[in-house]
Structures are given as structure tokens and as C-alpha cells.
Amino acid sequence: MSDDRDGDEHELRVSKIRNGTVIDHVRGGQALNVLAILGIDGSQGEEVSVGMNVPSDRLARKDIVKVEGRELSQDEVDVLSLIAPDATINIVRDYEVVEKHRVERPEIVEGVLSCPNTGCITTGDEPVSSRFEVLDDGVRCTYCGTIVREEIASLIDT
């Protein structure tokens, strides 16, 4: 019985928003980077709730981000996968989870991150959009070869 109760409690926690997206199983401490990727800083009046370092079965500690009134695009999910590879995306409509997706790491992300190398062709005046190959532990600029492993969220071109 106690198992069932825990399950219900979990569902309740996940589906508390009315319409929008719940990003679950974000690695502990990455919730604010998730918000940065989504371009959410609260200035537009977005209704967002964030749970940080919540105990989890799958991860030792996880963060949860709930965004009311917004369903994530595939592009957004692709970039999220770079910092939250274990995340689950729950699309909620009328308090019900109607879709559940695991994120998949793309092989290439284009036009989303900016290269930290100021000499890179993608950071100059040339009309070349950025292109990064996704590695197991980071991303690599396909133009200049710069590899970024830390602070990938800070490269997001907003």
C-alpha cells in the first residue's frame, strides 16, 4: 500500500500545473540553467516553479522545473539535453500529463550556442551560424574545434 501512496504523491507533484511543461529529473543544481536555456528570467511574468535538490530514485538529487502555459519545442528540448541528459519532459494539459518524453542528445546543435573562441568564423561578421558537435562530456565547435565541457549554458545565444 505504501508504494501506491508514494506513486500517487509523485504524480500529484508532477501534474500540479494546469497547462504547460514539467521538466523532471534535471540533474541537481541545473534548474537555473534550464530556465536560462528557455529564456525565462521572470521578467515576462511567466509562472514557473522550481524544485531543487529533491530526493529521487533515479538520481541522487534532482531538480524539477514547471512552466505554466508553455509547451517546449524540439529545439529547446535538444539544447536542454546538453545540461540535463536524464530529464523527462512532461506535457500537461488540464492537469493531466498527456505526453512524456525522455530527452535525446542530438549529434549536432546549430545556431543555438555561440563559440567562446573570438577568432572563430562563427563569432565574426561572416553570416555563418554556429555549429557544435555533441560529445559525451561536452560540445565541440565544428569550425574551430574549440571544446567546451563546463558552463555550456553560458554559451547559449539568446
Report the interface residues with Zn ion, using CB under 5 A. 115, 117, 120, 141, 143-144, 146
Residue nearer to Zn ion on the CB measure, 23 or 120: 120
Residue 146: half-sphere exposure toward Cβ, Cα within 13 Å:
19
C-alpha cell at 63: 531538480
Residue nearer to Zn ion on the CB measure, 21 or 130: 130
Give yes or no for a contact between 128 and 122, defined as CB atoms under 8 angstroms apart.
Answer: yes
> In sequence order, which residues have a C-beta less than 8 Å from that of residue 18 and are 6 or more positions away?
68, 92, 94, 95
Give yes or no for a contact between 133 and 142, defined as CB atoms under 8 angstroms apart.
Answer: yes
d(CA 86, CA 152) in angstroms, rounded, equals 16
Shortest Å distance, C-beta 25 to Zn ion? 31
Residue nearer to Zn ion on the CB measure, 71 or 133: 133
Shortest Å distance, C-beta 18 to Zn ion? 42
Shortest Å distance, C-beta 148 to Zn ion? 10
**Residue 58: is it exposed, middle or buried by C-beta count within 10 angstroms (0-12/13-18/19+)?**
exposed
Residue nearer to Zn ion on the CB measure, 43 or 118: 118
Shortest Å distance, C-beta 156 to Zn ion? 15
User: Over the Cα atoms of the chain, what is R_g?
Assistant: 17
Residue nearer to Zn ion on the CB measure, 92 or 153: 153
Shortest Å distance, C-beta 23 to Zn ion? 29
